[in-house]
């Protein structure tokens, strides 16, 4: 499974249950339309850190890195390359 699919599955199972994967566009803004709220974002970051073995660590939490499925995928790819 590609990272995009893994991320999409997580977002759907946690925040959009019942949504078909095809219905969630990879560039859909998850932060601004309230899909992920303040509790959800904690879960999302913890999951990203755990699933992709990344330490989001002390770095600034740039909302752009978590805005959409696509953005999370880019962030994970770059963070892994930099590690």
Partner 1 sequence: MIRWNTDQTDLREGLERWGEALSADHIELEEQGRFPEDKWKLLRDTGILSLPFEEEYGGLGQSLLTTMYALEGLGEYNRDSGLSFSATTSICSTGIPVQHFGTDDQKQRYLPLIASGEAIGAHAITEAEGGSDAMAMTTRATRDGETFVLSGSKAFVSNGPIADVIVVYARTHPRGGPLGTTAFLVDRDTPGLTTGGCGKKMGLRTSPLCELYLDDVRVPRSAVLGRVGGGLMVLDHVMKREVLFSFVVNAGEMRHRLERCVAYAKTRQSFGRAIGSYQSIANKIVDMKIQLESARKWLYDTGEKLEAGEDVTVDLAIAKLVTSRSNLATSLAAVQIFGGHGYMSEYGLEQDVRNAVGGTVYSGTNEIQYNRIASMLGLGAGR
Which residues contact partner 1 (rule: CB under 8 A)?
17, 31-32, 34, 36-42, 58-63, 66
Closest contact distance (angstroms) between CB of 43 and partner 1 is 9
Cβ 45 vs Cβ 57: under 8 Å: no
Cβ proximity to partner 1: between 9 and 14 the closer is 14
Closest contact distance (angstroms) between CB of 30 and partner 1 is 8
Closest contact distance (angstroms) between CB of 1 and partner 1 is 26
Question: Residue 59, Cα to own-chain centre: how many angstroms?
Answer: 16
- Measure the CA–CA gap between 62 and 21, rounded to whole angstroms: 25
Give me the residue label for tokens 């890195």.
Answer: 65
Cβ proximity to partner 1: between 17 and 81 the closer is 17
Cβ proximity to partner 1: between 53 and 62 the closer is 62
Q: How far, in Å, are 10, 11, 13, 37, 56 from residue 16 at the CA level?
A: 9, 7, 6, 12, 24
């Amino acid at each position: 499974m590609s990272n995009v699919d893994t991320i999409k599955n997580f977002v759907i199972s946690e925040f959009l249950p019942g949504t078909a994967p095809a219905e969630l566009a990879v560039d859909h803004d998850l932060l601004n339309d309230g899909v992920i709220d303040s509790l959800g974002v904690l879960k999302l970051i913890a999951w990203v850190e755990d699933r992709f073995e990344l330490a989001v660590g002390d770095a600034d939490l740039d909302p752009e890195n978590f805005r959409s499925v696509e953005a999370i995928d880019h962030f994970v790819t770059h963070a892994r390359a930099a590690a």
